[in-house]
Amino acid sequence: MRWGNMRGSDNVEDRESAGPARGIGGGFKLGGVGLIAVLAISWFLGLNPLDVLVSLQGGDSASAPTQSAPPPSTSAPGVRDETKDFIARVLGDTEDVWRKIFNDMGRAYREPRLVLFTDRVQSGCGFASAAVGPFYCPEDEKVYIDLGFFEELRDRFAAPGEFAQAYVIAHEIGHHVQKLLGTERQVRRLQSGNPSQRNPLSVRLELQADCYAGIWGHSTAERQILEAGDVDEALSAAASIGDDRIQRMSGRGVQPESFTHGSSAQRVEWFKRGFESGDLDTCDTFARGTD
């Protein structure tokens, strides 16, 4: 991926350098096994993973974090800095692409901010552990990423590569696009009014964000930023974090009724739709079937 000439965004908050935020009762970091266990428990019980993690860590979503020294990094400082530069440039490129798309629709694109953190973080949506993975908070319009997730993506989920990481960022930006277009608010209202449809609606929302990530990828392909193998990296990343694969990794059977993000095949298919078309209309997961 030729990202060196992308414009770096100024909308990055580097809380990672300040060290992990600690909540009530101290803290611990869940590795890949812990992440899978928490997700499995949440899916099985129909709970919000954030709430489960807060409970496990002895804090509450309103706890104000304090700062402590960062743990030793497993990556060399130069590698860490290069990753941060990469993230800032991918973010900047998504800003440029979505600004043009919104301008073409006669609308203004409001840029989100991206927060880098270690271990745990206070967001506008509450207190969160790195174990939940990257997430978007519509309340403060920020994307939150623990850099350790990219190591998990590479090592545990077997999805290495820069474009795999870029896909993750673009997916979270896709949720911001949903916030700006009003889709996120409509879905939350429908979920509140019809709890039995909470998971199916969540799947449609997540698959649309995958499709939006594909739209950004379409632009990078048009501008010849991609290199051989990049698209396969994104598809591998999409497949690696499908609900069915994660449920298998957790050691239990696949339960489609508990899906919240979509199967591996669905995630791959909707990213490909956005990537091949570059068209927002192609990403209407609510009007079309999700298969």
What per-residue confidence (pLDDT) applies to 239?
A: 86
Largest CA distance in the chain: 50
What per-residue confidence (pLDDT) applies to 291?
A: 62
What per-residue confidence (pLDDT) applies to 137?
A: 96
Region 76-83 average pLDDT:
68
Rounded (10°) angle between helices 162-181 and 148-155: 120
> Is 25 a residue whose pLDDT tops 70?
no
Q: Where are the domains of the chain?
A: 12-283
- Judged by average pLDDT, the poorest of 100-104, 186-190, 235-239 is 235-239
- What's the pLDDT tens digit per position in 239-289? 887 887 887 877 777 777 777 899 999 999 999 999 999 999 999 999 866
In 89-181, DSSP assigns E strands to: 113-117, 120-123, 126-129, 135-137, 142-146
**Mean pLDDT over the full length of the chain:** 81
Phi, psi dihedrals of residue 172, rounded to the nearest 5°: -65, -35
What per-residue confidence (pLDDT) applies to 80?
A: 67
In the chain, DSSP assigns E strands to: 12-14, 21-22, 66-67, 113-117, 120-123, 126-129, 135-137, 142-146
Contact 20, 117 (CB under 8 A): yes
The pLDDT > 90 percentage for the chain reads 51
Most confident by average pLDDT, 38-52, 198-212, 249-263: 198-212
What per-residue confidence (pLDDT) applies to 99?
A: 98
Neighbours of 238 (CB within 10 A): 28
Q: Tell me the C-alpha distance between 180 and 233, whole Å.
A: 28
What per-residue confidence (pLDDT) applies to 64?
A: 32
What per-residue confidence (pLDDT) applies to 167?
A: 93
> Is 124 a residue whose pLDDT tops 90?
yes
Q: Tell me the C-alpha distance between 81 and 75, whole Å.
A: 10
Neighbours of 235 (CB within 10 A): 22
- CA–CA distances in Å: residue 226 to residues 44, 49, 77, 91: 39, 34, 26, 16
> Is 44 a residue whose pLDDT tops 50?
no
